Structure 1
Amino acid sequence: MRHSFSLSRPRADGPVVLWGGALPSGSLKYLTFARYLAAMPPGSQGLVELSGASSALALDVLGRERGLPTVALTDAAGESYLRAHGFRGQVHHADSLAKLWELALAYERKGWCWPRQLSNSAMVACVESWASGLRAHVRERFPLVRRVVCGFGTGATLVGLTRVFSTGGFTITGLQPAPGQPLPGWRTWEGQNLGAEDLFFAHHQRIPLDTAAPAPDCFTALLDWARRQERPEQVLVIAHNAQEQEQAFVAMA
């Protein structure tokens, strides 16, 4: 699959940014789930996922493109984020991951498509499908880039980017939120994982994770991390849902 990517270097001595917000659902999850749903068996009743951020927004747009309803399973904060960002589907709450999982299973039994993004290793191949094109694009336009940083959510993007970029000599880092400073769509590995069933479990000992400094949003956390590196101009920031025109003021700060 070939994709166009919105890439720029907002400041001459700063990192390059991949602006995922330019995509139809406003995040790179659109590319990942579009690939996943391309193999979805016919007859699905709808789309359901445990998400209060980019994944649910992507599935909402992709569901509407396919004439399917979307349900997001999350908490009250997740619903607030989704509604503020245009989510049109249904939202159901539960007070624990186990209860959210049971809700998703119930939908799956009724014929709904549940990608199981937290535990489904097939999501990594979906990321690889667009990451290879991104690597070629970066090499052509920004040959100085040698490092890649992205937020750590399910881990699929981080693992997919690692598989593609590490073969070209790049170093990849996943960024977790600061303690007590939650960020939409991100998690901490030590405190939020499914154990051996987790998608990231097989990779957590060899793919480095770092912790962000406290920040008001994911993009600021990523940009701050990149600017603290010895050679920020060599860093590619994977900004899942940032839009260049909306973030120009941050780049000039």
Structure 2
Amino acid sequence: MRHSFSLSRPRADGPVVLWGGALPSGSLKYLTFARYLAAMPPGSRGLVELSGASSALALDVLGRERGLPTVALTDRAGEAYLRAHGFQGEVRHADSLAKLWEQAQAYEREGWCWPRQLSNTALVACVESWASSLRAHVRERFPLVRRVVCGFGTGATLVGLTRVFSTGGFAVTGLQPAPGQPLPGWRTWEGQNLGPEDLFFAHHQRIPLDTAAPASDCFTALLDWARRQDHPEQVLVIAHNAREPAPVARA
């Protein structure tokens, strides 16, 4: 399946940007979860996920498209982010990852679809389904690009992109937040993982992770990283939920 992507090079000597915010839920997670939910068993009561950012927003939109309610399990900061970005579903809190996990399990036992984004390796194949089309677009329109950088969240996007792009001679890097500088939807591998059950566990020793400089938001962190490289014009920034700025009108 060939997808349409919003790609541009904002500055002549800078990186190329994939603007994921142009998609229906405002992020690339829409493509990933749309593919995953295509195989969802009939009769699901709703959608539930541990998320306070792009995944919950994508599931909310996809749920409404399918007439299903969505529940986001997160903390109060996550709820504030979701509400500010148009989330219409229910939000439930807990003070630890373990308790959030227990809540999700309870919903799953009651017949809700829980994608288990932190541990479900099937999501990697869902990313590969759109990453293959993306690589073709990049090769056609921006043949100078040789590197790819994306934020490190669940790891599914990073692994899927690596599987597709590395076979074409591209290098792929995952970017973590700076210490003490949390960014919505991102995590640090050393401090926030599920151990052997984690989706990224089997890949963490061979897929490079780097640390972002302190930044106000994810997109700024990605751009700063790309511009610090020796050849920023060779970098593709995977901006999960950024939107391309409108052209400035000239008098």
TM-score of the two chains, using structure 2 as the length reference: 0.97
Q: Is the 8 A contact 2:178 2:214 kept in 1?
A: yes
What is the SS of the residue equivalent to 1:43? coil
Consecutive unaligned residues of structure 2, counting only runs of 5 or more, are none
Deviation at 1:139, TM superposition (A): 0.1
Q: For the structure 1 residues 48 and 252, does the alpha-carbon distance in structure 2 shift closer, same or farther, using more than 3 Å as the test? A: farther
CA distance 1:60–1:205, shift in 2 (3 Å): same
- Residue deviations 1:119-141 (CA, integer Å, cap 9, x gap): 00000000000000000000000
- Cα distance in structure 1, aligned partners of 2:245 and 2:209: 25
- Cα shift readout 1:168-190 (whole Å, capped 9, x = no counterpart): 00000000000000000000000
What secondary structure sits across from 1:44 in the alignment? coil
Residue by residue, what CA displacement relative to the aligned partner does 1:5-26 show, whole Å, maximum 9, x if unpaired?
Answer: 0000000000000000000000
Secondary structure of the corresponding residue to residue 64 of structure 2: helix
Structure 1: give runs of 5+ residues left out of the alignment: none
Once the 2 structures are TM-superposed, how far is the Cα of residue 77 of structure 1 from its aligned partner? 0.1
The answer to whether the Cα contact below 8 Å between 1:29 and 1:54 also exists between their aligned partners in 2 is yes
Give the conservation status (yes or no) of the 8 Å contact 2:48–2:72.
yes
Change in 2 beyond 3 A, CA 1:237/1:133: same
Q: State the distance in 2 between where 1:68 and 1:127 align.
A: 23
* Separation in structure 2 between the aligned mates of residue 146 and residue 248 of structure 1, nearest angstrom: 27
Q: What SS does the aligned partner of 1:251 have?
A: coil
Structure 1 residues 252 and 182 mapped into 2: Cα distance closer, same or farther (>3 Å)? farther
Task: State the SS of the aligned residue for 2:216.
Answer: coil
CA apart distance, 1:68 = 0.1
Tell me, in whole angstroms, the C-alpha distance in 1 between the residues paired with 2:250 and 2:208: 29
Matches of 1:148 and 1:30 in 2, distance apart? 20
Partner of 2:246 in structure 1? Answer: 248
Q: Distance in 2 between matches of 1:154 and 1:186?
A: 8
Q: 1:29 and 1:251, CA in 2 relative to 1: closer, same or farther beyond 3 A? A: farther
Give the secondary-structure state (helix, strand or coil) at the position aligned to 2:26: coil
Counterpart secondary structure, 2:52: coil
What is the count of residue pairs matched by the alignment? 251
- Please name the residue that 2:133 is paired with: 133
* C-alpha deviation, 1:204, in angstroms: 0.1
Once residues 209 and 98 of structure 1 are traced to their aligned partners in structure 2, the CA distance between those partners, rounded to angstroms, is 25
Q: Deviation of residue 44 (structure 1)?
A: 0.2
Contact 1:10–1:248 at 8 Å: present in 2 too?
no
Secondary structure of the residue that 1:175 maps to in structure 2?
Answer: strand
State the distance in 2 between where 1:45 and 1:176 align. Answer: 34
Question: Kindly tell me: are residues 65 and 130 of structure 1, through their superposed partners in 2, closer, same or farther at Cα, counting changes over 3 Å?
Answer: same
Secondary structure in 2 matching 1:104: helix
- 1:87-236 → structure 2 map (5 Å cutoff): 87-236=87-236
- Deviation (angstroms), 1:248: 6.5
Structure 2: how far apart are the matches of 1:73 and 1:251? 42
Report the Cα offset of residue 241 of structure 1: 0.1
Shift of 1:56: 0.1
Name the residue aligned to 2:45. 45
Query: Within 1, Cα distance between the matches of 2:175 and 2:151?
Result: 5
- What is the deviation of 1:237? 0.0
How far is 1:251 from its partner? 16
User: Structure 1 residues 173 and 250 mapped into 2: Cα distance closer, same or farther (>3 Å)?
Assistant: farther
The question of whether the paired residues in 2 share the 8 Å contact of 1:183 and 1:218 is answered with: yes
Q: CA deviation at 1:249?
A: 9.6
Give the Cα separation in 2 of the matches to 1:64 and 1:180. Answer: 35
Contact 2:176 2:210 in 1 (8 A): yes
Asked if 2 retains the 8 angstrom alpha-carbon contact of 1:7 and 1:16, the reply is: yes
TM-score (norm. length: structure 1): 0.97
* Paired residues of 2:19 and 2:244 also in contact (CA < 8 A): no
Change (3 A) 1:36 1:251: farther
CA contact (8 A) 1:10 1:251 kept: no
Q: Cα deviations across residues 142-192 of structure 1 (Å, max 9, x unaligned)?
A: 000000000000000000000000000000000000000000000000000
| Cα deviation digits, residues 91-128 of structure 1 (max 9, x gap) | 00000000000000000000000000000000000000
| Deviation of 1:76 (Å) | 0.2
Q: Could you tell me how far 1:2 is from its partner in structure 2?
A: 1.8
Shift of 1:90: 0.1
Partner of 1:8: 8
Give the secondary structure class of the aligned counterpart of 2:14. coil
